[in-house]
Structure 1
Amino acid sequence: MSVETELTQTRITVDKPAWSAVFAMAFGVFGLITAEFLPVSLLTPVAASLHVSEGQAGQTVTVTALVALLTSLVIGNVTRRLDRRVVMLAFTLLLIASALLVAFAENLPMILLARVLLGMAIGGFWTLSTAITMRLVPADQVPRALSIVFSGISLATIIAAPLGSYLGGLIGWRNIFLLTGVLGGLALFWQFFTLPAMPPENHARSGGVLDLLRQRVMRWGMLAVILMFTGHFAFFTYLRPFLETRAQLDVNQLSLVLLAFGVANFFGTSLAAWLVTRSVSLTLTGMALLMSVTALLLVSFGHVPWLVATGVALWGLAFGSMPTGWSTWLSRAVPDDAEAGGGLLVATIQLAITAGAAAGGWVFDLHGAGGVFLASSGLMLLAAITIFSRVRQHG
């Protein structure tokens, strides 16, 4: 049976969509991802202020990702008896606490502790987000709702790093994190008044996150996720060196190309809401193929600036559909255990991020950015084949 047409009767029926709650979730995503990205743009002033190296300060990003990975594996079971509304509000409180702790931190260990709290919030939010969105809108509107929630990622990608870097030079990095705390406060206020009570559901058919891998379709799905996200993060991590060396873009051109990536990523998220209602597997397959071809074109025509800009934008557009596409697939593959599925998806993506950065660095040292792009192209092609031939088949 096709995963795209499979629905189970265990899912709670929603008659009236709670769009205000969906947008509140999206705003929460924006706050979380903004907080996650800020150290990247503020690394130098943070390191100088705390009298540590930039490499040491960079561990604020590492610890967040690691804690998010661990949290995604256990949060469903730890909070299984709690109202999901209370749990989501708690994640937003962790965001606020993290931002304030960073703002007033006197040393690096205190900042690392604060980033542990943020990692818990990010890992927990992503794990439960698909399942909660499924309880806010009718089944036929879930793809649209997911695209709205995940648009917060794209907006944070566009705004957080450049704005954080600019404002950090004007008002200082500590005040930037204070503003992030204010952002979290607004998200908490919005969520408090819009999220409905969502008692825990105890009818899950699996025994937990890892137990889902007993299902063949989930094993193939997670393999495809690893291939796609490893390929993307290898590509994206070494995009700037490619643009500076092969395309020979100056700082202004580089900024415009990266902005084009972010804007296209936002539109890709919006486009996915329309595409996945027609075919989830074909959407994911098509986007993987587009990314594979785009990487090849960049390697072949990297000396042509306008083609490079177009290629980077196309990559951003295609990747923008991935969170919505995979979350929609998950909501249909395991609709009666979406929380455990969400934990497995988050853990798999975090693993892929680590693999992409590590493997990309190894390939970059051997063959440069062009070699990384070729490897990414190959991974995307394998992902497309896997999705088309295996993931859309249930069992």
Structure 2
Amino acid sequence: MHSQISSLEQTPTRPRDAWSAVGSMTLCVAMLIASEFMPVSLLTPMAADLHATEGLLGQAIAISGLLAVATSLFIATVASRLDRRHVLIGLTAVMVLSLGLMAEAPDFGLLMLARALLGITIGGFWSLATATVMQLVSPAQVPRALGLMYMGNAAATALAAPVGSYLGGVVGWRGVFWLLVPVGVLTLLWQALALPSMPATRSIPASRVLGLLKRPHVRTAVMASMLTFAGAFAAFTYLRPFLETRTHVSVTELSVLLLILGAAGFVGTSGATVLLSRWLYPLLWACPLLLGLVTLGLIELAPVVWMTAAGLACWGALNAAVPVAWFNWLAQEVQDEPEAGGGLMVASIQMAIMAGAGLGGALLDHGSVNATFVGGAALLLAATLVAASRRRLQAV
């Protein structure tokens, strides 16, 4: 394993400036998560207003994932020729534009365009995030900085669905997206003030991203991470029908349970950040193992609401710890190619999320929601087996 970052030069910023820059990225992460998943809680009114079926609208939402995959594979090449500060600010501006277009979309076609633009920001920003953090702070502070950034992830995950659902009833679904626009502008201004200049230092050809797969430990990590995210999203995507048909919750109970699930992400993110320095590799296999067991346990706990709530809290905490662990693995084991590694990781995760959601939906349509959860748990346990060998996840 490389002992130092050989190809990145630390930007000379004062500690306070560096953490302000990390804070601006944290807010952008929260905005990205909220923008990506807010439509899930607004699907019905959006479909009615745009004269589309819910299934068709779901495809529009999914297009952001497809564009995220494409962007993540090529963003390192583009960013390597430009000042990364300008790239990140540009990506955030595209996000703000997409929110405005979603709020004003008169038809399905413009909504598709808006979601495609959002996908570009998702793929580009996430791919560059780890490399940027590694450039902003000292190596010893990278785990803490990544943990802070993922607090934005946890906050948005906790609040997007319940807040979106509530505000949608008050100001309408278009009003919800308009409320996100000024927060996006605030994010843009904060980045413009806080992010230092990060000039290009070398050119990264597009082939370098997929070229990382020639490294055995990267291939193993990609397989393990894809199985983990596919398994998690096979279950997560269909939590609502599970809770409605197996736990028989009311709308109010559903909102509370989803809030518990999301709020537990704060615990998972904080706990993973604390454990990273000594327990990174055990986390990579223990999280999918425990997540798979809890997923199976929810099937048995479903008839009792309070026990289901406890199970969802455990599920939310474990699920939130997964990306923190994998992106810290990236910072540690692909130190010489953080931009290319970030692109490969984000592309593989986005593909895994789409595949997992597709598998879960097929099991739901042709079997039952229990089959969906069993299928998700099976993928998670497979991920455990792949990630169990620390030696196979480390560079030679």
Aligned-partner SS, 1:188: helix
Q: CA offset at residue 254 of structure 1?
A: 2.2
Indicate the residue corresponding to 1:236 in structure 2. 236
Q: CA offset at residue 134 of structure 1?
A: 0.6
- Is contact 2:162–2:255 with CA below 8 Å preserved after alignment? no
- Structure 1 runs (4+) greater than 4 angstroms displaced: 13-16, 203-207
Indicate the residue corresponding to 1:266 in structure 2. 266
Q: Distance in 2 between matches of 1:207 and 1:71?
A: 14
1:153 equivalenced with 2:150 (yes/no): no
Indicate the residue corresponding to 1:298 in structure 2. 298
1:12 equivalenced with 2:9 (yes/no): yes
Structure 1 residues not aligned, in runs of 5+:
none
Q: CA offset at residue 366 of structure 1?
A: 4.1
Indicate the residue corresponding to 2:286 in structure 1. 286
Give TM-score scaled by structure 1 length.
Answer: 0.93
Q: CA offset at residue 292 of structure 1?
A: 2.0
Deviations 1:331-384 (A, max 9, x none): 111112111111111111111111111111222234422222222222222212
Aligned-partner SS, 1:311: helix
Indicate the residue corresponding to 1:217 in structure 2. 217
Amino acid at match of 1:12: E
Higher mean alpha-carbon deviation, 129-138 vs 302-311, is at: 302-311
Indicate the residue corresponding to 2:30 in structure 1. 30
Amino acid at match of 2:83: D
TM alignment of 1:115-264, pairs within 5 A: 115-202=115-202, 207-264=207-264
Higher mean alpha-carbon deviation, 248-257 vs 221-230, is at: 248-257
Distance change (3 Å), C-alpha of 1:176 and 1:251: closer
Distance change (3 Å), C-alpha of 1:81 and 1:204: closer
Distance change (3 Å), C-alpha of 1:388 and 1:203: farther
Indicate the residue corresponding to 2:99 in structure 1. 99
Aligned-partner SS, 1:26: helix
- Is contact 2:80–2:204 with CA below 8 Å preserved after alignment? no
Higher mean alpha-carbon deviation, 298-307 vs 102-111, is at: 298-307
Q: Distance in 1 between matches of 2:35 and 2:206?
A: 33
Amino acid at match of 1:29: V
Q: Distance in 2 between matches of 1:285 and 1:11?
A: 30
1:50 equivalenced with 2:42 (yes/no): no
Aligned-partner SS, 1:335: coil
Amino acid at match of 1:251: V
TM alignment of 1:37-116, pairs within 5 A: 37-116=37-116
- Is contact 1:41–1:162 with CA below 8 Å preserved after alignment? yes
- Is contact 2:76–2:204 with CA below 8 Å preserved after alignment? no
Give TM-score scaled by structure 2 length.
Answer: 0.93
Structure 2 residues not aligned, in runs of 5+:
none
- Report % sequence identity: 44
- Is contact 1:100–1:177 with CA below 8 Å preserved after alignment? yes
- Is contact 1:130–1:146 with CA below 8 Å preserved after alignment? yes
Deviations 1:107-162 (A, max 9, x none): 22122112221111111001100000111111111111111112212111122222
Indicate the residue corresponding to 1:392 in structure 2. 393
User: What count of residue pairs does the alignment treat as equivalent?
Assistant: 392
- Is contact 2:218–2:393 with CA below 8 Å preserved after alignment? no
Amino acid at match of 1:284: L
Q: Distance in 1 between matches of 2:149 and 2:289?
A: 25
Q: CA offset at residue 203 of structure 1?
A: 7.4
Q: CA offset at residue 6 of structure 1?
A: 4.7
- Is contact 1:205–1:336 with CA below 8 Å preserved after alignment? no
Q: In angstroms, what is the RMSD of aligned CA positions? A: 2.0
Q: Distance in 2 between matches of 1:104 and 1:363?
A: 36
- Is contact 1:204–1:336 with CA below 8 Å preserved after alignment? no
Indicate the residue corresponding to 2:323 in structure 1. 323
Higher mean alpha-carbon deviation, 367-376 vs 225-234, is at: 367-376
Amino acid at match of 1:216: P
